[in-house]
Amino acid sequence: MTRVGVIGAGAFGTALASVARLGGNNVTLWGRDPAQITAMQAQGENTKYLPDVALPEGLHLTNDLGDLAQSDIILMVLPAQQLRSFLARADLPTQAPVLLCAKGIESDTGLLQQQILTESLPNTPIAVLSGPGFASEMTRGKPTALSLGCDDPKTGAWLQGVLSSQTLRLYLTQDTTGVALGGALKNVYAIACGLVVGAGLGESARAALMTRGFAELARLAASMGAKTETLMGLSGFGDLALSCTSLQSRNFAFGEKLGREGAFGTGKTVEGIATAQAVLALAARQNVEMPIAQAVADVLDGRQEIAQALHTLMSRPLKPEA
């Protein structure tokens, strides 16, 4: 029985831990808040993030990282902006591959999470998981398919076999850059689509933003060596389609409320906020133009109103579609 350690007891961490446990693995879920872990143990569910969904029998809950010392795999499900500080104080098992499952780019440096992890644990095998999967649906046994990126084909195939199940299908690629960028950048365009819908600008505008946003995403990813087929797959197109069309998406819901009420704040982690600025710095280094991402960052920072940002986009010089 494979020992799976999951770091991060939010919605997605709990969902992955539950699916892995139901798949027959020995799973330990770690959360930093002792009170939350105690409540989950007592109530048999993650009331804070996934209410009314029972945790599977045999799932071990802990706030002691030492309980993950013998893990065969570590699933890292912390927000991207917390990863570096966590690694600075954590003592992870060096023999276990780390599968990065959260989506985002470090705002201060523009680094992908696998780059941060390599700096801290240079000898640790790394993989990246991303794609269109809502935690609430995964935990309820709804069918989900995700992309699994791993440089080493043998390690990737092993992870794929261990973590795939009757309800979770993983598709393997060696393009970790494409998987990471697809998952991170779609959050920015989900906010953009939320802004458009919340402001009442119509479905045509949303479709245009999704399409042109994908073109931006693909240009940046290609400049960093990602493969087009990766971006056309689950972690790029698939995740973009899901996140830009459903209020279950935290980023879309955030943008929709901002567009409708002019109000910030959801009480949930919205990775696209930090990613919007990080991706602009990354695009500048790669000499890639990303006007939609720029418009989102301008709105979030208060430099432009939504109507102004739309006017800026619609006033850009006419050009061939590419």
- Distance separating alpha carbons of residues 99 and 78, to the nearest angstrom: 11
Catalytic residue list contains 186: yes
Paired with 61 in beta bridges are 29
- Judge residue 29's burial from the number of C-beta atoms within 10 Å of its C-beta, 0-12 exposed, 13-18 middle, 19 or more buried: buried
- Distance separating alpha carbons of residues 253 and 264, to the nearest angstrom: 11
- HEC sequence for the chain: CCEEEEECCCHHHHHHHHHHHHCCCEEEEECCCHHHHHHHHHHCEECCCEEEEECCCCCEEECCHHHHCCCCEEEECCCHHHHHHHHHHCCCCCCCCEEECCCCECCCCCCEHHHHHHHHCCCCCEEEEECCCCHHHHHCCCCEEEEEEECCHHHHHHHHHHHCCCCEEEEEECCHHHHHHHHHHHHHHHHHHHHHHHCCCCHHHHHHHHHHHHHHHHHHHHHCCCCHHHHCCHHHHHHHHHHCCCCCCHHHHHHHHHHHHCCCCCCCCCHHHHHHHHHHHHHHHHCCCCHHHHHHHHHHCCCCCHHHHHHHHHCCCCCCCC
Find, among 180, 181, 187, the residue nearest to 127 by Cα. 180
Catalytic member of 103, 142, 186, 268:
186
Residues involved in catalysis: 186
